[in-house]
Amino acid sequence: MSFATADLYDQFADKVQVALPMFNDYGKRRKFCGPISTVKVYEDNSLVRAALEEPGEGRVLVVDGGGSLRCALLGDMLARLGLQNGWQGVIVYGCIRDSAIIRDMDIGVKALNTHPRKSVKKGVGDRDIPVEFANIRFVVGACVYADEDGILLANENLLQVLPC
């Protein structure tokens, strides 16, 4: 994939939203993009699993975990599931676990931090609704672009050669 968020910003500043710089990179794939799908959960990763069990078709799963730092919403098994099902990446407004294993997986993963505790599994949350965090409003179907410099969101595909 050949793009840089800095270059995209320079070229399309009036068409993009820029996330506040609060995310760390965890997956082997440091550069990823795609149309987004969302889940909104709080300390419950049941809907994260349900989403990643579906064909990703080049999408990026955006997980609004409410910024909780009390448990992980993604681990190596869910990251592997996403990779196997064709997801480009996962952006977690919350924590992940199994980071040493995830760093060797060819999937993009950005999160606030790591935490060893599992989440609960009650099936509570919302799917494919607009979510807002890091100064961005993530709307299903918009295109997200992520690399080592940050995260951009555009309502349209900025580069036709990308999977957005």
CATH of 5-147, one of 3.50.30.40, 3.10.290.10, 3.60.15.10, 3.20.20.70: 3.50.30.40
Greater confidence, 160 or 57? Answer: 57
pTM given for the model: 0.96
d(CA 105, CA 132): 27
pLDDT tens readout for residues 125-148: 999 999 999 999 999 999 999 999
Q: How high is the pLDDT of residue 2?
A: 84
The domain locations on the chain are: 5-147
d(CA 164, CA 150): 17
Residue showing tokens 């509570």: 124
The H-or-E segment that residue 79 falls in is: helix 76-84
pLDDT tens readout for residues 95-126: 999 999 999 999 999 999 999 999 999 999 99
Two tokens, residue 118: 């599992």
Give me the DSSP letters along 20-54: -S--EE-SS---EEEEEEEEE-SSB-HHHHHHHTS
- Asked if residues 82 and 57 have their Cβ atoms less than 8 Å apart, the reply is no
Query: What's the helix, strand, coil split of the chain in %, to 5?
Result: 20, 35, 45
